[in-house]
Amino acid sequence: MLGVFDSGFGGLTVLKPIHQRLPTLSTMYLGDNARAPYGVRSQEEIFQFTLEGVRFLFEQGCPLVILACNTASAQALRRIQQDVLPLEYPDSRVLGVVRPAAEYLAKHATRVGLFAPPATVESAAYVHELYDLGPAIKVTQVACPGLTDLIEAGKQDSPATDTLVAGCVKQLLAKDEHIEEVLLACTHYP
Ligand code: DGL
């Protein structure tokens, strides 16, 4: 069984294509709606909450857990892989979404824009991964505080969301008007 973890509802945008591509795979989804959003929390909190979610999914019988959440992938994945798995769960695996998304972008663009919650922007995880894959790639990040809360509250089609998104787009284009690809670096945004 494959475990999929997110800070809330957002990771369902990752679970759906997994089901479409691997229809016979059984999955278990855990969204931490009670404590979302993660994107405004400290690195330590994100690490502790993510680890709790991962432990829960391991205990349910998932030997592989995907952190669908960009924020958890950016702020907690490496520490879980390096410090927790070898000692406590040597036969289990945790994977994230930052590296695969960065690999896709590196193949398709040299000027990349990124919308994300504040903690993902602060981690600079995408900036580092993309630099690693192609030092010439220019990454322009825009933090979108409040957007996850609106989506978790079911207000994705509201004037407040429209205004917030328009402001983020304006900021991005003010920083670089020649962006080729934009990554919605949060599972809630699609
Ligand atoms: N869904 C998460 C992500 O992909 C984070 C949203 C949040 O909890 O702030 O980054």
Span 10-46, pLDDT tens digits: 999 999 999 999 999 999 999 999 999 999 999 999 9
Distance 186 CA to ligand 1 centre (A): 5
- Is 144 catalytic? The answer is no
Contacts of 65 (CB under 8 A, 6+ apart): 2, 3, 4, 5, 54, 57, 58, 92, 93, 94, 95
- Is 62 catalytic? The answer is no
| pLDDT at position 186 | 97
Share of the chain above pLDDT 90, in %: 98
Give the residues surrounding ligand 1 with Cβ less than 6 Å away: 6-8, 10, 36-39, 69-71, 117, 120, 148, 186-188
Atom of ligand 1 nearest to the CA of 117: 9
Count Cβ neighbours within 10 Å for each residue of 80-105 and write b for 16 or more, e otherwise: beeebbeeebeebebebbbbebbeeb
Distance 62 CA to ligand 1 centre (A): 22
Q: What is the pLDDT of residues 125-176, one digit of tens each?
A: 999 999 999 999 999 999 999 999 999 899 999 999 999 999 999 999 999 9
| pLDDT at position 33 | 94
Tell which one of 4, 5, 7 to mutate to probe ligand 1, the residue whose CB is within 8 A of the most ligand atoms. 7
